[in-house]
Chains A and B, each alone.
Chain A
């Protein structure tokens, strides 16, 4: 079983709708979680980090963490064509500086 799992997609969402990206992790000691956006041919770019249970909002992005269910999600409100990219979920354990990445979900926003 992979430590961080994501649905590879592709996920297609109409412009203006809410895109919901999901990630599960297997290691219960994971404490820090990150969402990266990667455009085709480019390197990953950090968009959100979350450490506590609940929601964290930043502009059109909301990260949600549920440690009991070992589940992290990213919501993108008012989706724009520029949001079309692969979204990578990553987790880190306490005392461990390494990130473990999922394989990413490809998101396409349809105009």
Chain B
């Protein structure tokens, strides 16, 4: 079974803090994704990585950055957290090379106060 693990289930951070969300997958997948999920807006792609050190902006990259130094790990960074970044953050991975099925981590519920 594919396992995608996010470092925290719940986080509470203060406005202006730098926040790191970590994600690790154990199936040697090429692609990794960060989404946020908000009521009524569905899943929105923040960033995507298709290889180590490679990244591509998704639909809502503003206020976020990412890092992929190792194939199995994909980090999402909130440079200066704001209250409108309070959300559920979901990491996913897919095999790549045409196999597009994405598998999700358990999610991180981030609250910025």
Q: Check: A60 CB closer than 8 A to any chain B CB.
A: no
Enumerate chain B residues within 8 angstroms of A90, measured Cβ to Cβ: 102
Which of A11-19, A61-69, A74-82, A94-102 is found at the contact surface with chain B?
Answer: A94-102
Check if A46 sits within 8 Å of B33, measured CB to CB: no
B61-108 interface (Cβ within 8 A of A): 90, 94, 96, 100-107
Interface size class of B (residues with CB under 8 A): 20 to 34
Check if B104 sits within 8 Å of A45, measured CB to CB: yes
Check if A32 sits within 8 Å of B100, measured CB to CB: yes
Name the contact of B101 in the complex, choosing from A34, A43, A88, A101 (C-beta under 8 A): A34
Check if B107 sits within 8 Å of A97, measured CB to CB: no
Enumerate chain A residues within 8 angstroms of B48, measured Cβ to Cβ: 97-98
Chain A contact residues, CB within 8 Å of chain B: 8, 32, 34, 42-46, 49, 88, 90, 92, 97-99, 101-104
Would you mind naming 22 contact pairs between A and B with Cβ atoms under 8 Å apart?
A32-B100, A34-B101, A34-B102, A43-B105, A43-B106, A44-B43, A44-B90, A46-B101, A46-B103, A88-B42, A88-B43, A97-B94, A97-B96, A97-B100, A98-B45, A98-B58, A99-B33, A99-B100, A99-B102, A101-B43, A103-B40, A103-B41
Chain B contact residues, CB within 8 Å of chain A: 30-31, 33, 40-43, 45, 48, 50, 58, 90, 94, 96, 100-107
